[in-house]
Amino acid sequence: MDGIVPLFKERGMTSAACVARCRGIFQTRRVGHSGTLDPNVDGVLPVCIGKATKLVNYLMASGKIYQGEITLGFATETEDLDGAEIARQPLTRPFTTTEIVAAMEQLVGDIVQIPPMYSAVKVKGKRLYEYARDGEKVDRPKRLIHVDYFKQRQVATFDSQTGLQKIYFEVGCGKGTYVRTLAVDLGKILGVPAVMSDLTRLKSGGITVGQTLTLDQLQQAKDQDKLDQVLLPVATALRDLPAVAVTSDQWRIVKNGGFLALPEYQDKTKVTLTYHGKVRCVYQYDTQRQVFRPETMIDLSE
């Protein structure tokens, strides 16, 4: 069985645990997710089954949308509510909508981000969270990320007794973006400590939260022998690429890993090749040879 599970990851579970459950439900080891969600975050987690695992990177490269909450007035070591508090500075007055919007706009577009210490980013072969747990200091690599938009979804609230202000946001962003770091950076722009206090992923890999199923619903589909009905097709991961139906002669070339001219698609970086209605592979344009060459082979059966 090949395809993509539009999974809704519930809070309290790791993404790896979701993959393990899917392996049991589909009875295959060829399972992979397209972008880790922290245990305290819920939402869309596309899970690839069978031949679709070859397309995990394409799903991960697709834009994501999140909604959540940022609390101004204190900060933690993990940049979310899972970590110990490391700073507190109660606000004497709430920030205005104008001030918040102006700060958010500074975090839109191509920006440089430093990943949190409690993250899976590797430095010298070791995860950053391993350094953090061992109490070791290490220089974290700067990364260029892209934020499509960062906006309020409702008016912020302020608690005058605690001096804490909550900002309710939605963000559309590219691969590699740490939303909890966006929360911390927003606080830095405003001059106060900040923490991401709630987060849900609304969209990933072109899959929206309204399309998703929980693990319990997935198990129910298995019990009713309906797993094939809940899987999205492999082509879902490649929806942004032009699909080219190849001829029988071209298919013989493709099966041997050969190059194709495809002059009508030379303005495209990549294309999906189909044969007999099935997605077969992704070809990438070679500017030097002016032909398309294999990038990812998916299904060479027949």
User: 69 and 51: one domain?
Assistant: no
pLDDT band with cut points at 50, 70 and 90 for residue 251: very high
User: 11 and 41: one domain?
Assistant: yes
The residues carrying an active-site annotation are: 38
At which of 236, 259, 279 does a domain end? Answer: 236
At which of 149, 182, 203 does a domain end? Answer: 203
Of residues 139 and 87, more confidently modeled: 87
Mean pLDDT in residue range 173-196: 96
Query: Count of residues for the chain?
Result: 302
User: 30 and 145: one domain?
Assistant: no
| pLDDT value of position 119 | 78
Mark 63-102 as b/e (b = at least 16 C-beta within 10 Å): bbbbbbbbbbbbbbebbbeebeeeeeebbeebbeeeebee
pLDDT tens per residue, range 27-74: 999 999 888 898 999 999 999 999 999 999 998 888 899 999 999 999
| pLDDT value of position 120 | 76
User: 172 and 160: one domain?
Assistant: yes
User: 157 and 260: one domain?
Assistant: no
Mean pLDDT in residue range 210-236: 95
- What's the mean pLDDT when you consider all of the chain? 93
| pLDDT value of position 117 | 79
| pLDDT value of position 285 | 95
User: 48 and 169: one domain?
Assistant: no
pLDDT surpasses 80 at 184? yes
pLDDT band with cut points at 50, 70 and 90 for residue 284: very high
User: 113 and 44: one domain?
Assistant: no
Residue 80 belongs to some domain of the structure: yes
pLDDT surpasses 90 at 283? yes
Residue 302 belongs to some domain of the structure: no
| pLDDT value of position 94 | 97
Mean pLDDT in residue range 253-282: 93
Mean pLDDT in residue range 194-217: 96
pLDDT band with cut points at 50, 70 and 90 for residue 128: confident
Residue 127 belongs to some domain of the structure: yes
User: 163 and 287: one domain?
Assistant: no
Residue 152 belongs to some domain of the structure: yes
| pLDDT value of position 300 | 86
Residue 182 belongs to some domain of the structure: yes
| pLDDT value of position 137 | 84
User: 174 and 150: one domain?
Assistant: yes
pLDDT surpasses 80 at 159? yes
User: 21 and 83: one domain?
Assistant: no
Domain with 210, as residue range(s), is 3-60+205-236
Domain count, the chain: 3
User: 113 and 123: one domain?
Assistant: yes
pLDDT band with cut points at 50, 70 and 90 for residue 1: confident
Mean pLDDT in residue range 103-113: 97
User: 196 and 246: one domain?
Assistant: no
CATH assignment of the domain containing 256? 2.30.130.10
CATH assignment of the domain containing 230? 3.30.2350.10
Residue 197 belongs to some domain of the structure: yes
Residue 159 belongs to some domain of the structure: yes
